[in-house]
Amino acid sequence: MSAPSPTPTPTPTPPRKVFGHLSLPERTFVADALRAETVGGVLLLIAAVTALIWANAPALGDSYDSVSHFHIGPEALGLDLSVAHWAADGLLAIFFFVAGIELKRELVAGDLKDPKAAVLPVVAAVCGMAVPALVYTLTNVTGGGSLAGWAVPTATDIAFALAVLAVIGTSLPSALRAFLLTLAVVDDLFAILIIAVFFTDTIDFAALGGAVAGLAVFWLLLRKGVHGWYVYLPLALVIWALMYNSGVHATIAGVAMGLMLRCHRHEGEAHSPGEHIEHLVRPLSAGLAVPLFALFSAGVSISGGALGHVFTRPETLGVVLGLVVGKALGIFGGTWLTARFTRASLSDDLEWGDVFAVATLAGIGFTVSLLIGELAFGGDATMSDEVKAAVLIGSLIAAVLASILLKVRNAKYRRLCDAEERDDDLDGIPDIYEEDEPEYHLRMAAIYDRKAAEHRRIAEVKAAERHALAEVTGGAGEENDRPA
């Protein structure tokens, strides 16, 4: 009787790397998306500074308030809104439309498609929203403040964060930038849910039903392959108006329509419809809609007394601590715990201090935080302005801290970015994505052979020149040694 064959020992799978290299298509998408967001973030920064100057310059008087509260729109349709209201409910619907497309793309073609890869940004985003809310709540419970603003410090403004990176001139590796972008997408999703669930007081079910019917028509037209902006734009405006009149925040309409777009590519398509529309609408969102919202939301009166209230009132102090402390601890803690319990290891090129710096940068909670602050304290103009000031100060502190932490490691980041961009074989694909391919090494061998041959040719020329020079010098010496 033959002995049983030994059971083969399974090959251990290598531990998964946290913040490892992105796939080439994902890296290309992230680079394009962040480029647009960075430009929009700079415009956002300019708009915020302009708003503060406009609202506080004595020479301009009350013109900021006059323009912000100027009403325009058809009253019969319930749309006689102030300019600031149009910016918050109308223009931000474009921003959330793009956010909906980004979320859909992440779910069907990005990092969120793979459950193992999705765990990290989702857990980090959830912790990055839960901890700031907890910090705000504890601050106001102990200080006797209002709990209405618990959601204000939960949001991250990716455009503003990228603008800070552009201003300080640091270079984050693509994996950390992608993490920041995915984190912001998940963050936007939960912010949308918070707005829909917690800031809807009364619902007009007839208007809501009309909005849902409009969304159904929108979906059917997409599925039938109907093309033409002249079809979808009027329908989108009707859906938005019905959603606004229903009592549900009108930006939800933008998200819903964004989620309906197809973001996976069919055979022969260079871009999916969602990617194409996002490419067209993102500049409008980042370059116009969000900066105009900031212009009419960030203009709060700044005085010594107002700044003092930010650090003495529990509501405003809770917002500052939530953004600066809660965001950093929540995102870093969620990332570390995920890596710890999934047995994933940090990329060899990075340290946990890099993750903490990015978590601190996520404490910039400008656009959505301002929106939630208006919704939470809309009935108290003074408190609303003070909460806005707290958002600005908290975001500024987070930006300064993150800038310091990132600058310390900037030389390392530049080396990593240079390695990611290196393309020695000049085929248009970074070498880091081809190092496991034999063809790449054959191309590099041919390049080095050509370089070696060129250097040998140069060496021969130089040797010949040196030999000729030696002969001339030697001959001249003999001529000079002859007797007169």
What pLDDT, in 10s, does the model give residues 204-240? 999 999 999 999 999 999 998 888 888 999 999 999 9
**pLDDT over 90, % of the chain:** 25
Query: How would you class 462 by CB atoms within 10 Å of its CB: exposed for 0-12, middle for 13-18, buried for 19 or more?
Result: exposed
Q: How far apart are CA 421 and CA 28, in angstroms?
A: 12
Q: Taking residues 127-134, what's their average pLDDT?
A: 95
Query: Residue 296 pLDDT > 70, yes or no?
Result: yes
Measuring CA to CA, which residue among 222, 273, 286, 239 is closest to residue 101?
Answer: 273
Residue 71 is inside which H or E element, if any?
Answer: strand 71-72
pLDDT tens digits for range 234-270: 999 999 999 999 988 888 899 999 999 988 888 778 7
pLDDT at 11: 47
pLDDT on residue 169: 63
* pLDDT tens for each residue of 430-474: 766 677 778 777 788 888 888 888 899 998 888 888 888 887 776
More confident residue, 289 or 346: 289
Q: What is the pLDDT of residues 25-59, one digit of tens each?
A: 655 656 666 566 677 778 888 888 898 889 888 88
State the pLDDT at residue 227. 87
Which is more confidently placed, 124 or 33? Answer: 124
pLDDT, the chain, mean: 82
Say if residue 22's pLDDT is above 60: no
pLDDT score at 436: 72
**Which of 134-138, 152-156, 442-446 is predicted least confidently?**
442-446
**CA of 91: how far to CAs of 80, 254, 290, in Å?**
15, 10, 7
pLDDT value, residue 106: 79
Q: List, for residues 177-191, the tens digit of each pLDDT value.
A: 778 878 887 888 888
Give Cβ neighbours of residue 119 (< 8 Å, ≥ 6 apart). 338, 342
More confident residue, 476 or 189: 189
| Torsion angle defined by CA atoms of residues 387, 388, 390 and 392, in that order, rounded to the nearest 10 degrees | 170
The b-or-e profile of 136-171 (16+ CB within 10 A means b, else e) is bbebbeeeebbebbbbbbbbbbbbbbbbbbbeeebb
What does the radius of gyration of the chain's CA atoms come to, in whole angstroms? 29
Q: Write down the residue that tokens 């857990």 correspond to.
A: 123
> Can you name the residues that pair with 346 across neighbouring β-strands?
18
pTM of the model: 0.77
Q: What is the pLDDT of residue 170?
A: 67
Q: How confident is the model at residue 339 (pLDDT cuts 50, 70, 90)?
A: confident
